[in-house]
Amino acid sequence: MSLVLALCTALLFSLGTWLLLQRRLTRIIIGLGLIGHGANLLLLLSGGRRGVAPFIGQIGERTPADPMPQALALTAIVIAFGVTAFLLALAYRSWQLTGDDLVEDDLEDRRIAATRSTASDEEVADQRELSAAEAALESSTGGAAPLEEAE
């Protein structure tokens, strides 16, 4: 049974990751939810084998279940609910402003990347001009060193 649950956990994580890589906000939010459900299932699986309920004063032949993974899963569910509500509010506001839930490329990032590539091209061109000028100076002086270096 735990193998099936482990495969379900892996499936939830993989589908959530795939949805996170999409460009639509609704798919991103659903992907985060799937990853959260996979994490909760992983926490519950880490609790070990099923045991008896942890009642005080009752001693039996079976060991009681560990309540810590269950408490962590409940806390994670509450936090995931808050984060999902916040992301849905952000997605709704984005939809109000743009009329679409598609996340577009940032034009400012493209401009900065183009500026950086242009700047590196200019540096290469400056280096080529400097080396051409040095070669021209050496050929005009016949390979002799300039006067400042000879003294």
Contact between 101 and 88 (Cβ < 8 Å): no
Contact between 54 and 67 (Cβ < 8 Å): yes
Mean pLDDT of the chain: 82
Predicted local distance difference test score (pLDDT) of residue 146: 54
Which of 38, 30, 54, 51 has its CA nearest to residue 6? Answer: 38
Q: What is the dihedral of CA 83, 89, 94, 99, to 10 degrees?
A: 130
Q: For the chain, how long is the longest CA-to-CA vector?
A: 103
For helices 25-45 and 2-20, angle between their N-to-C axes, nearest 10 degrees: 160
Tokens standing for residue 119: 């700047």
For 101-137, the pLDDT digits (tens) are 888 888 888 888 787 766 566 677 777 788 888 888 7
- Ordered by start, the domain boundaries in the chain are 2-50+66-98, 107-144
Q: Report, as an integer, the average pLDDT of 56-82.
A: 80
Among 79-83, 107-111, 133-137, 144-148, the minimum mean pLDDT is found in 144-148
Q: What is the dihedral of CA 118, 124, 129, 131, to 10 degrees?
A: 170
Q: For a pLDDT cut of 90, what percent of the chain falls above it?
A: 40
Mean pLDDT comparison of 7-16, 36-45, 65-74, 125-134, highest-scoring range: 7-16
pLDDT band at 21 (very low <50, low <70, confident <90, very high): very high
Q: CATH code for 2-50+66-98?
A: 1.10.287
Contacts (Cβ under 8 Å, ≥6 apart) of 9? 38, 41, 42, 45
